[in-house]
Amino acid sequence: MVAVDLIASCQDSIGQIGDEIADALVYLDAGTLEAFQFIGAFPLLLELGARAVCSLESTSPLDA
């Protein structure tokens, strides 16, 4: 049986879309926020150049 590091796999997947994340406001819903907290993805998003990570439920036209 082969062991799979799911956290590293998820972080690698996020890294693959780094071009789209650069200089973006990233909106995440509640479930995704929880998952990103679990895998430690917030620092990765900021390293990839995200301007901010926001709650989708708190979206405002003033965010842009």
Euclidean distance between the first and the last CA atom of the chain, given in angstroms as a whole number:
48
Query: Residue ranges of the chain with pLDDT lower than 50?
Result: none
Residue 24 confidence (pLDDT): 92
Contacts of 40 (CB under 8 A, 6+ apart): 7, 11
Counting residues of the chain whose pLDDT is more than 70, the rounded percentage is 98
**25 three-state secondary structure:** strand
Classify 27 as helix, strand or coil: strand
Instruction: Let me know: does 15 contact 7? Beta carbons within 8 Å.
Output: no
Give the side-chain half-sphere CA count within 13 A for 16. Answer: 6
Per-residue pLDDT at 59: 85
Q: Is the pTM of this model over 0.75?
A: no
